[in-house]
A and B are shown apart, each in its own frame.
Chain A
Amino acid sequence: MRKLVALVLFCFVSVAHAQLTIEITQGVDNPTRIAVVPMGWSGNEPLPEDISRIVSNNLERSGQFDAVPRTSMLSFPSSEADVFYRDWRVMGTEFLLIGDIQQQAGRYFVTYHLYDILAQRKVISAGKVDGGAAQLRDIAHHISDKVYEKITGIEGAFSTQILYVEAFQNTGTQDNFRLMLSDADGARPRMLLESDEPLLSPTWSPDGRQVAYVSFETTRPAIFVQNLATGEREQVTNFTGLNGAPAFSPDGSALALVLSKDGNPEIYTLDLASRRFTRITNHYAIDTEPSWTSDGKGIVFTSNRGGKPQIYKVTLASGRVERLTFDGEYNARGRVSRDGKTLVMVHQRGGVFHIAAQDLATGTLRILTETNLDESPTIAPNGAMLLYATRFGGKGILAAVSLDAGTKYRLPSKQGDVREPAWSPFF
């Protein structure tokens, strides 16, 4: 009984915590109902993280799952012997995740099982993962990835991270800009760089070990590359005019970027080994916001060469430029999905700035967000969701939407104005 009381109390605290960290605004119509049972733990001290809660939050945030509340569960099985399919079936549960946590020499060993309740069979048998005390969240994200992939067939992206910029700008005080790194759910924020001068356009190297960004710390814009493990950073451009919009090529050997050293914003590539710059575009209009196609053979970019900003694509081998967007008077900052099928962008309609997705085969454009001032879309490495920046309650915040627009959520409210999310690759 005492154990149960402790558990209920734990649940209560966790629910309150959960409300701070996640706000789902829309999910799919028929989400899969999953019961994530609090994992068995025989230690004397409560665990610093509630692994089951993190897993269930992750799955719910995808919009594809509906988690059975703990208060509705008839039992908390942590081993196969205590699993009774009938009990879970009557509650409409489709999948059941149970697990057990053991501690050995300061390390946590988790064994988990996933059951398909309708088929009455185990679909993950004795999955194992272990880590130190600081890695309990990583363990939870790992389990979430496995469960998500097993049920949906899509690789889970819960173990990924995001970069973003936090800005503090108030009248009468010094501006403060911070480049931040956090888990994909917004938890465990870490500061990578702080400056009184603007920081913008953070982006990942394809191996997830380096980030590139623009910093005004020299009182002019310059592109820096920073190693995440060592914190070591290097200024890679120092030209008169714009030095902006860095984007690593898919093989990591080059950066696409924008320079206006010749009087006009143009797209260049920088070979990182030879440090050689190659000019890619040549037009008197604005050419900016380069982003590589996933095969590395082309770069999509924003240009107002037609009078208004639209998205174009240049094929690197031939130099041939084609216009991709025709719907609306303002389409900018395109990003192509990894499968090459979808272009996401900032799209203006009726004076309002949304995130939109265009099917590159058919040209059909769909608006994904109904908020205003939406910008900086960044697609998850599994292609299921995208993060973007918007304004909510007078503040800059991050929000997410699935590429089919069926699922939406807002990331936890943070201090300052939060913007320019960049979703990491798989690690």
Chain B
Amino acid sequence: MITKAMKQGLTLAFVMAFLVGCSSTDTKDSDAEAGANGGVTTGTADSGSLGSADGSEESMEELETIIYFDFDQAVLMPEARALLLAHAEKLRGTDTAVRLEGHADERGSREYNMALGERRANAVRDFLVLQGVSRGNLEVISYGEERPLSLGSGESAWSKNRRVEIDY
């Protein structure tokens, strides 16, 4: 499992790798590697990526990587648009592969939620593409309600689970 801290670390690592990567082909390789590791979601690969953030002195604004949705909805909320614009800014013109993981809360039927999760991830993808991000770099996958972020029942857990995770 990827913990949230690891994810944030990974995001930070990517942002830095990206910035450095603009001037150096060497770091661009490690950038691509971090992206690929994020895709397969293996714990060891992620901790490897964490280390690459060390030693950098620049302080970067950390981008939230989770977009939330309303129940049975795949429409982007206004706050999601602002966040996605920032992601689009980062991704535009790069060849960074990103995996968009759609999820749903536990209510309702499982396969419908699987489709709903895909709808949500598609909504994020389509927004990023409209902002100039290369569609070929965006992979969509839905986990439906199978991988909740919060394990409880009730609106506080459900609202955290209706989401798309942007996995660099």
Contacts and interface: CB of A to CB of B under 8 A. Distances in A.
Interface in A175-226: 175, 198, 200-201, 216, 219-221
Contacts of A403: none
Given A169-B148, A175-B147, A353-B107, A288 B153 contact: no
A198 B147 contact: yes
Contacts of B119: 286
Contacts, number: 96
Contacts of A171: 151
A170 interface: yes
A333 B112 contact: yes
B1 A260 contact: no
B89 to A, nearest CB: 26
Contacts of A175: 1, 147
A171 B3 CA distance: 9
A375 interface: yes
Nearest to A389: B110
Contact of B112 (A173, A302, A394): A302
Interface in A289-315: 289, 302, 304, 308-309
Q: What is the predominant secondary structure among interface residues of chain A facing chain B?
A: loop
B146 interface: yes
A147 interface: no
B114 interface: yes
B109 A376 contact: yes
A172 B142 CA distance: 21
A265 interface: yes
B147 A375 contact: no
18 contacts: A169-B147, A169-B148, A170-B151, A172-B1, A175-B1, A201-B111, A219-B39, A221-B114, A244-B114, A265-B115, A289-B109, A289-B112, A302-B111, A304-B112, A333-B109, A346-B109, A353-B108, A375-B110
A302 B109 contact: yes
Interface in A364-393: 373, 375-376, 391
Interface of A: 169-175, 198, 200-201, 216, 219-221, 241-242, 244-245, 258, 260, 263, 265, 286, 288-289, 302, 304, 308-309, 330, 332-333, 346, 348, 353, 373, 375-376, 391, 394, 420
Contacts of A174: 1
A286 B108 contact: no
Interface of B: 1, 3, 39-41, 72, 106-112, 114-116, 118-119, 122, 140-144, 146-148, 151, 153
A375 B108 CA distance: 7
Contacts of A258: 111, 115
A286 B112 contact: yes
A309 B118 contact: no
What 9 pairs across the A-B complex have the smallest Cβ distances? A198-B146, A333-B109, A332-B109, A245-B111, A286-B115, A265-B115, A288-B115, A289-B111, A346-B109
A200 B109 CA distance: 12
Nearest to B116: A286
